[in-house]
Chain A
């Protein structure tokens, strides 16, 4: 088969089948799970088909243009790293769906469940194979959205809705959009969205590292990865995500989706690593998170909660190791990280499946209510022990090897950084290891060892059917196999994956026994301290609970709830200020801006220009008219009944007409007086129909506000007039010259105003007459129809 076709099929087969699921479910009922699992298996086999090519050190790169004008293509890029994650997504997906056929009650909405899981699987595979950052982002968000849907699968439980929303806000909202910004910044630097292009071009990488935006780009992309992988302050969504059905938690929230962030870190490793910022951000966040999450895991009594915190802590190992690769041999940390990524997926999925089995059979996940189940569930006990011991780092299991490598890499980086890091980093690593050891032992001891807790447990508890045990057993087998024969995963999976990150071929040698080394010493110390911590386990947990009660605000969740939990209420408070209603309030900002925009330049002008010259030489009879104008204006404003106010206004109008006469403009004066007469008549006619006095009492503050507005407007206009008459603006050639020259020549008329109206602008005048005519028709019609209705 054509290899790119196989890849595209592996991506889109789950999507396509997801659409069919609801219809198929009507036919095959609850057996839909097996059909869905089959799709997972087919995807897995398709990937197996292409793996020889990748193991040989080749990459598959194929793309078609999608939106060429902005450089966005749709393409696939398959290398060892992406293949590793895709294997996890399809392989574990297959096991999980098979397991779910027994785990999920037949009464549940199974079509929706398998639909979401398939959509997630397709998105995850599509995300890792994306050759374009925008395409990667799209699938990235799809995984967040499907995760949201799966966490909120039980819609009626408020807790699961809360958890679903939290994960969506933090991973898709915060992290996803930070990632998008980072991607856009990366494009601004490199001019491309194409991942292989950036990876292959050394000069581009140099350009990125020396660019001003380097830090911002790295930071935003790192935020995206950290939010997805529950690192740093973003860890808070993962414990709440445990409200999902347990197979979903095993699949998304331990084995695959949370690995997406680590995949991204691996993908951009060649671009950003080797810088101080990378070391501080990635390794620093990892080191802090692994200890904090490991410590918090101790407090959990719900095994699933414990596994959630342990997942955060284990992911932090991987994150730290990807961050380690700064100055020295870059491959060591990357190999350790990639190997641990694979191992964690196997042993943690095993443990989640065991928790599912225990909860399914014993009807509780609370460690205080469990205990002594080893005799009743012997097979489960064995599988759980393998998983937990691998997590604790006990030989000969795969977790032991990757933990040794983690210690080795920590010592290495510490040494290369010098004092005081050569002690500090290995110490932090050992502390994390000790915590891991303690809670791993707790899982086995709490569930299977000790005395049977008859008070809380059902009378009869037994191993589940082969359908639920099988997937867990297969994973446990892989844990042992990869532990005893590390060369199998190394040569077939890890080497291609690592060469996908460091971009050169690599050969890794690993074996179970590698001599007496510093790492071995650290492991021995870890086990010793781990046992001591485990003895003190309850005391530590109690102290943590006490502390939380005393300091409720010392928690990230507290701030999350404050900000997002009350988002709607907070928004309401703000909204009330902006949604007032009366149109006066709507006009206020507009008018304010208008006034300011006029006042501002005038103030600038008065600073810049020479002072205004006033001319107060006015004949006394004119002065009388002006005083009368002011008096009538004031009267119009203060008279408390309509008719006298209107008379005052019209008196004002007539007085202005007189001013026009003083200014030798009799035609204007006549127009003014005519218009004034008409408006007065209309006013008086209208006023005779309404009450004669103002009934409404205007509140004092509104009155002052209105006075202020009027004064501002008036003084602004006054200032404009003052400056306009000074001739600041260079006038363009006036049109009046044209009319003066041409009026007699073209029309023979001497009255220029008349000539303009009936000759130069005769069409305008015609239009006006038509408008008046139509308006009159309308008025007639209105009056007419009014009479009819009566």
Chain B
């Protein structure tokens, strides 16, 4: 049982969550800012441990083969933890005056534990448990500002669709179990032919796609995402887009790819169509949004479309590209949402009762009022569009070129055309920030927000300029999927 030390990151987070929860009971509201620091410290420790496990290239299986440690799980854990780090640093400011600070951080940590369990799970049951843990924690986090009616609507929609999707997921899993006789994922892979040869297997796979697709926000399971991202507090939107969505991907990678490899080429076409619809719809609808958060949400839908190209191509490079994209997108999107949070903060400083702080008019002349935020947001948006020297370009490049090498030229062409469309709406925000006049003077960014945003900015640029190590680990992770 010494293997249990390999789960030390999760254990540390769990302990931190409990410490935060209990300590919060005894602290006065003005001292609760310390809870944020405790959470950040816990996450940093978890990151260090996860990274050391990953760099040692440890592989292990534990708890009767229900949990595994391999490069894949560690890479995804690092994605989740990095987003958690950014979000928790930014949240030090966001929840600083709230009397429920301890709940916020405890829920945040629990959500991350759930995601980490998903990335380590080797069994449908543990996977579902992690999925639900993260889900329940994020439902509550989305509704954290419980006096704000928009937030409640966002939370409600997220919860109801989430609950329905969980039901589908469980239904699909039960079919998988019924047809393959096991819940162990490698076991399912070994018996995948039982699943594929029978028409009833389609039920199982479609249900699984629906269940995971909701978290990945694939069309047509995406509809909650814009409402929820827009209504939720920006830092939580960062968590949803940066981490929670990626949990859908790792789960789908683990479960669906197993079945897909055994399936025939028709399914490839179905996934290709799904990817194309998702990216096109996301990009076209994003064009007309005046709410920046909603625009980012639709862009997130579109990006899910790009990433799901990995399901279609299914070569090691494509999967590595998909994983690299997930990693890059986590930083770009989380960074962008944090920047939007800063703008919201700025607007609220000027007018306490301001509504719709993420309306694009509030971004007018941001380059004059908050040059650092404007610059960082511009880099995030350009990265999302896939402009060179940013993480967005490298990941798009690896993914698209692998698509072409696999002979799916048409898919790559559509994806590249979509990138061109996306440039329109990203450029629009940049135009507002840099080319439009503003009233209102210079405002200094609050330090926690600024630190989180700059960390994300550095990550986006480092991946863009020196992508080699990231590509290496993405390929290591992809190799786990394809043995």
Contact = CB atoms under 8 A, between A and B. Distances in A.
A578 B301 CA distance: 13
Contacts of A568: 287-288
B203 A590 contact: no
Given A590-B161, A594-B207, A174 B420 contact: yes
B200 interface: yes
Interface string A654-667: 00000000000000
Contacts of A181: 404, 409, 412-413, 416
Query: Main SS of chain B's interface residues?
Result: helix
A586 B178 CA distance: 30
Nearest to B204: A597
B295 to A, nearest CB: 11
A180 B400 CA distance: 10
A177 B416 contact: yes
A594 B160 CA distance: 16
A593 B419 contact: no
Q: Chain A: interface residue count, which band? A: 35 or more
Contacts of A567: 287, 424
Contact of A177 (B289, B405, B420, B435): B420
A567 to B, nearest CB: 7
A583 B287 contact: no
A544 B416 CA distance: 38
Interface stretch (B112-120, B126-134, B219-227, B449-457): B219-227
A68 interface: yes
Contacts of A604: 199
A187 interface: yes
Nearest to A592: B220
Main secondary structure of the interface of A (DSSP, over half): helix
Nearest to B417: A177
B285 A184 contact: no
A161 to B, nearest CB: 8
B165 to A, nearest CB: 7
Given A177-B419, A590-B214, A732-B181, A67 B471 contact: yes
A601 B417 CA distance: 36
B423 interface: yes
A590 B181 contact: no
Interface in B167-204: 168, 178-179, 181, 198-203
Contacts of A614: none
Interface in B391-435: 394, 397-398, 400-401, 404-405, 407, 409, 412-413, 416-417, 419-420, 423-424, 435
Interface string A260-277: 000000000000000000
Contacts of B472: 69
A574 B397 contact: no
B3 interface: no
B210 interface: yes
Contacts of A583: 156-157, 160-161
B388 interface: yes
A572 B290 CA distance: 11
B273 interface: no
Nearest to A176: B420
A612 interface: no
B125 interface: no
A138 B389 contact: yes
Interface string B215-238: 000001101101100000000000
B475 A574 contact: no
Contacts of B210: 590, 593-594, 597
A593 B289 CA distance: 28
A571 B41 CA distance: 45
A581 B153 CA distance: 10
Contact of A69 (B223, B435, B468): B468
Interface string A725-741: 00011001000000000
B389 A586 contact: no
29 contacts: A69-B468, A141-B387, A174-B420, A177-B417, A177-B419, A177-B420, A181-B404, A181-B413, A184-B400, A184-B401, A184-B404, A188-B405, A188-B407, A575-B285, A575-B289, A578-B281, A579-B226, A583-B157, A587-B160, A589-B221, A590-B168, A590-B220, A593-B220, A594-B207, A597-B206, A598-B203, A601-B199, A601-B203, A604-B199
Interface of B: 156-157, 160-161, 164-165, 168, 178-179, 181, 198-203, 206-207, 210, 214, 220-221, 223-224, 226-227, 281, 284-285, 287-289, 317, 387-389, 394, 397-398, 400-401, 404-405, 407, 409, 412-413, 416-417, 419-420, 423-424, 435, 467-468, 471-472, 475
Interface of A: 67-70, 72, 134, 137-138, 141, 155, 173-174, 177, 180-181, 184-185, 187-188, 213, 216, 567-568, 571-572, 574-575, 578-579, 581, 583, 585-587, 589-591, 593-594, 597-598, 600-602, 604-605, 608, 728-729, 732
